[in-house]
Structure 1
Amino acid sequence: MCNELFDDRSLVDGFRAIASAGYEAVELAPFTLGRPVEDVRAAERAKIRRTAASLGLDFTGLHWLLAKTEGMHIAAIDPEARQRTLDRLKALTDLCTDLGGHVLVFGSPQQRSTPAGMTAPDGRARSIDLFRSWAVHAEQTGTTICLEALPADETDFMNTTDEVIEIVRAVDSSAVQLVLDVKSMSAEDSPIPDQIARAAPWLAYVQANDADRGGPGFGKTDFVPIFRALADVGYDGDVSVEAFEVATDVDDLARRSFEYLSRCAIDLA
């Protein structure tokens, strides 16, 4: 489960709540560390990993990579801003490795939307170039960059599964794959099982939420056919709960989302 919903608590209390709800791993939002990743030293990283492990939790990786940052953009024209962005993404890749994670989910709508005064093709080309540079570091650390489709009301770049596939193919690195997010897939015209089938060759991670941005099971999205489609393409990776709207309280959301997904898995079996 993603941990930012517990950001009003200490890091360990958030981990404890996630473990108590039944989850096996954390997907970490770096801003919940409370300071830039470069300031989180090796000893503290090791302590965070040990603390999670003591609760029975691993780390799948990181997401919200550039959230709550200033002066960073993957299509930046300014060389210093570009280098600052690339350096941060490399630093996050190192953090992911130190925590024992394996995926870096790249959503960050504000830091990927076409900058004012730039054409969409130019922004796309600049972004691909930065992804290629980042991928070299990801390859060296054994981590996987997962590019994420986001709806048009959030950004104008990589809005659909097919558009993300195009970028993944253009970058052409084994370290750059894609994540499928149920909320984002629900915003497309194409049925979710069809999107899963098309994305299968590059699929490295799945984020579970309802079409209405709540937790799985809190809306009308049926996960049984989603799980069936994932099974049909041979997906055996992680499924991480990421919710944006909390209907009751976060502990209830965490528990009920886990229980719902577990029932769907049983129904599928």
Structure 2
Amino acid sequence: MVELAFSTNAYTRHSLPEAVRRIADHGYAGVELLGDDPHAYFPDFEDADRDALLEALSNTDLAVSNINANTAMGYYDDAPPSAFFEPSVIRADDEAREWRVEYTKRAIDLAETVDSPAICLATGRPLPGTAPEEARDYLRESLHEILDYAEARDVEVGIEFEPELLIENTHEVLELIDEMGRDSLGVNLDVGHAAVYGEDVTESIRASAGSITGVHLEDIVGGRRGKHYHRIPSDGDLDFRTIFDALADIGYDGFATLELYTYPDEPDRAAREAFEALEEYV
């Protein structure tokens, strides 16, 4: 049966241990850890931070659903616009690309430490001057190095597609998984991203059967081709009954993680109302 988790990326005004404790207060079985500033930005994440996190997890008895390594905003002192996924694993600059590969390995280390089954990774978008096919070559090269590291630690890597990224829909991520031929590579399926791209979310879920490393949940206004703004379930147009039915149909029994980073001023309300809206399905 699917269980609910909540991502700490809604709690960026709080420390990581405090975010874990607050999420536990709202009834969740799991927690997703933000692998970025201000929580676990790995160049600054020290042994004391790890120990405080482990203590919070032990005290709350929360399982870790995923390490969210999609972004690395801590990399910048003054981030340029739309730098959310930079430096990416498809960056033409060898040094920047290798920095991101090593950063992802640190996310895998944390996953191993906290017994998370997976991390998620976004591909980023090709920057001007980098052709899509060149970017795909960089992606394949980066992923093979990342997956070699992950497989040795029994951690899966879920690619999270998003409109306007190199890998932006269900077909492209499943094509990549097939092309790579690595059992540890899957999809971290964000239902809102599928909806915004224009996909039928239930069809995306069913097509991804056997490849899902994790699920991100949020509501979207407009549904198909809607606005990409993460909302509390019941505040948008997605049909969560059909989403959970589709997950049941394919036998998915992992975590479905609420990703509501859009509520930094009121994360407790977002966590509470999201759980109340979805608890009947799990």
Q: Which amino acid aligns with 2:247?
A: L
Q: Which amino acid aligns with 1:92?
A: A
1:185 aligns with 2:194: yes
- Match in the other structure for 2:80: none
Structure 2 residue runs without a partner (length 5+): 1-5, 77-85, 222-229
% identical aligned pairs? 23
- Match in the other structure for 1:227: 244
CA distance in 1, matches of 2:217, 2:92: 35
Which structure ranks higher in relative contact order (CA pairs < 8 Å, sequence separation ≥ 6)?
A: 2
- Match in the other structure for 1:130: 142
Structure 1 residue runs without a partner (length 5+): none
CA, structure 1 residues 142+249, in 2 after alignment: closer, same or farther (shift >3 Å)?
Answer: same
- Match in the other structure for 1:211: 220
Q: Is the 8 A contact 1:25 1:58 kept in 2?
A: yes
- Match in the other structure for 1:83: 98
Q: Is the 8 A contact 1:185 1:195 kept in 2?
A: yes
CA distance in 2, matches of 1:82, 1:91: 15
CA distance in 1, matches of 2:176, 2:44: 32
Q: Which amino acid aligns with 2:90?
A: A
1:1-269 alignment, distance < 5 Å: 1-33=6-38, 36-42=41-47, 44-68=49-73, 69-70=75-76, 72-107=87-122, 112-152=124-164, 155=165, 157-212=166-221, 213-246=230-263, 249-265=266-282
CA distance in 1, matches of 2:25, 2:126: 41
Report deviation, 1:38.
Answer: 3.8
Q: Deviation string for 1:10-44 (max 9, x for gaps)?
A: 22221121011111221111224557414434454
- Aligned with 2:210: secondary structure? helix
CA distance in 2, matches of 1:34, 1:188: 29
Q: Is the 8 A contact 2:186 2:212 kept in 1?
A: yes
Q: Is the 8 A contact 1:214 1:244 kept in 2?
A: no
209-218 or 162-171, which moves further after superposition? 209-218
- Aligned with 2:120: secondary structure? strand
Report deviation, 1:159.
Answer: 1.0
CA distance in 1, matches of 2:241, 2:104: 35
- Aligned with 1:31: secondary structure? coil
Q: Aligned residues, how many? A: 259
Report deviation, 1:232.
Answer: 0.6
- When you count helix as a share of all residues, which structure comes out higher? 1
TM-score (norm 2): 0.85
